[in-house]
Amino acid sequence: MVPQLQLIGVTGLPEIQTGDNLAKLISQAANAQGTELQSGDILIVTQKIVSKAEGNVIDLGQIEPSTLAKEFATQYDKDPRLVEVVLRESRRVVRMDRGILVVETKHGFICANAGVDASNVPGDERVSLLPVDPDLSAQRIRSELKASLGLTLGIIISDTFGRPWRMGNTDIAIGVAGINPLLDYTGQTDINGYTLRVSVSAIADEIASAAELVAGKLTQIPVAIAKGYPYVQNEEATARSLVRDGSMDLFR
């Protein structure tokens, strides 16, 4: 059998407002463009619209920066209120150097600026934060689609992260529902009878990256549908399993 995977961007979504029902808006938009959602499909939803729907957007005008935020901002020509928001969203600063602020977020993700972002947020001084619990955000969308359409989908909430050592960003999974984010080959044998030692694929991150290729940052396509990937369904799945434990990490 020839393995095939299809990624389809979902166009025509309106600007998302606090309280919007994302599942409903996404299924309507998919329908309007002639894409049929089916059980087994994976829906990849970018963080920004999830944060908007959940009201996780703040106005920098209400932020009083700390001395630490002001110092860093002055040194590197940044908005001290934005630096303050980043620090408030963090539980640990990993690197604060050369104008780059890499932190561990409240969720445990390690990324630049704690995922705080001003792009694609209407209003001059408004920035989006990461969802409070991206797995729960994913579960809500999944439950809603099951209830309204009777479909069982995998859901991935994605965001755009940088990486050490490599140029350019890739999209990764910050929340999942219904889909195992890791695929473990450990102990299985290859075609020559060689037993694979530690070999785990971060398939949720790979799917998020694939989705970014049809979503894009300028075209307001914040959702993609993946069809044809035979994932392991798991009701207990969480994107926290994609986070390496600090004690096992050589680069914190």
> CB under 8 A: which stretch of 16-24, 64-72, 134-142, 244-252 binds its own copies?
244-252
- Of residues 4, 19, 62, 64, which one binds its own copies by CB under 8 A? 4
Q: Which two tokens stand for residue 62?
A: 């209400």
Beta carbons of 132 and 107 less than 8 angstroms apart: no
Distance CA 90, CA 84 (A): 10
Q: 18: which DSSP letter?
A: T
Give me the sign of the Cα torsion angle 227, 217, 88, 100: positive
**Please, which of residues 113-142 interact with its own copies by CB under 8 A?**
118-123
Dihedral (Cα; 146, 141, 26, 157), 10-degree rounding? -130
Residue 249 in the binding site for its own copies (CB under 8 A): yes
- Build a one-symbol-per-residue string for 137-176: x at contacts with its own copies by CB under 8 A, - elsewhere: -----------------------x--xxxxxxxxxx----
Instruction: Work out how close the CB of 181 gets to its own copies at its nearest, in angstroms, rounded to a whole number.
Output: 8
Size of the site for its own copies (CB under 8 A): 78
Query: 195 - beta bridge partners?
Result: 189
Could you write out the DSSP letters of every residue in 211-239?
HHHHH-TTTT--EEEEES--PPEETT--G
Distance CA 28, CA 24 (A): 6
Query: 44 - beta bridge partners?
Result: 156, 224
Residue 17 in the binding site for its own copies (CB under 8 A): no
Residue closer to its own copies, measured from CB, 167 or 236: 167
- Build a one-symbol-per-residue string for 35-74: x at contacts with its own copies by CB under 8 A, - elsewhere: x---------------------------------------
Residue 194 in the binding site for its own copies (CB under 8 A): yes
- Of residues 181, 223, 237, 238, which one binds its own copies by CB under 8 A? 181
